[in-house]
Structure 1
């Protein structure tokens, strides 16, 4: 089985709209939990830190399989370097992606992302917005405003349904339905 990964966060939104929107502190990457040990091999020599809930950073030992509740991994090339990549682990079952926020929210892994003009895989904008909708920060609102005009009717319907099912009433729903 081939490991899959996607550029996530604000960069995924920028890839969807085809332009720069704002500054970023790091690069977010989504990876399926089943492929988590791959990143340690790909960036061998980097420092890896797991964010144990509720967000306590601790070194992630080589070969350690992170438990179900750990979803974020921070990495940097050296101790005196800033964090460069945040790896977010998501769940899967067979060939189906399963949201870590709500296991009822699922879709085929093959529909989880898109590919940029230069070949970079990135998280589909509606999936990224679903995660950003939990507690939107100003940068999430900025990303939402930027990508809203390029969402298809199908993406909007999916996003309305999953936001409503997972989070209940949400200010983005009206704008998605306009």
Structure 2
């Protein structure tokens, strides 16, 4: 999905955190902002978007938190459709684009993750699982974020230059156990990935 779908002006992190402070379920900041929350300082000069993660069992309450916003489901492959309140999104839809009105830029992307009981289940590979409580970190800001090992596992799928920047930033703050987990899951899901030569336990 490209620029023809409209421009992005990411909502500031503090405003996103304020919106989701009333969210009744589990949520976390994902993407590049999650990396910066983990390391405690800016990593990149700018971000093209801002991502929030929620679990599928909570996704219907997004309309309550983002009251007055337009929510659009990213329906693979590569199309957006308006998402109406009360509609249960199908299992293959994992992303929702959000804007504050018809003429407004996109301000927020919500990513819907799946769970099995108390376990988070990767959308990339259902064999990759962790206790949901383990994948969320909280730093000095008090804003929850996706821990670096899981975030970088997701980023490995696209492997853009900015993802290499993020990896270099987070490796020093990851424990040996987390680096080993990242290496093992990347190796299992993306055999031969270039990161395998730089991620060590």
Pairing 1:90–2:90 present: no
Pairing 1:56–2:79 present: yes
Gap runs ≥5 in structure 2: 1-23
**Secondary structure of the structure 1 residue equivalent to 2:88:** coil
CA RMSD across the alignment: 1.1
What's 2:67 paired with?
44
Quote how far apart the aligned CAs of 1:26 are: 2.2
What's 1:6 paired with?
28
After the TM superposition, which residues 11-22 of structure 1 pair with which residues of structure 2 at under 5 Å, given as runs?
Answer: 11-22=33-44
Structure 1's consecutive aligned runs of 4 or more residues displaced over 6 angstroms after TM superposition are none
**Secondary structure of the structure 2 residue equivalent to 1:84:** strand
Q: Deviations along 1:5-56, whole A, 9 cap, x unmatched?
A: 1100000000111111111122101111111111111111100000000120
Say how many residue pairs are matched.
177
Q: Deviations along 1:89-134, whole A, 9 cap, x unmatched?
A: 1110111100011000000011011002121000001100000001
What's 1:147 paired with?
170
Give the TM-score normalised by the residue count of structure 2.
0.85
**Counterparts of 1:92 and 1:127, CA distance in 2:** 14
**Secondary structure of the structure 1 residue equivalent to 2:106:** coil
Gap runs ≥5 in structure 1: none
Pairing 1:156–2:179 present: yes
Quote how far apart the aligned CAs of 1:173 are: 1.4
From 128, 133, 146, give the equivalent of 1:110: 133
**Counterparts of 1:174 and 1:141, CA distance in 2:** 13
What's 1:134 paired with?
157
Quote how far apart the aligned CAs of 1:150 are: 1.4
**Secondary structure of the structure 2 residue equivalent to 1:122:** strand
Pairing 1:176–2:192 present: no
Q: Deviations along 1:70-100, whole A, 9 cap, x unmatched?
A: 1110001111111111001111011110001
Give the TM-score normalised by the residue count of structure 1.
0.96
**Counterparts of 1:173 and 1:18, CA distance in 2:** 25
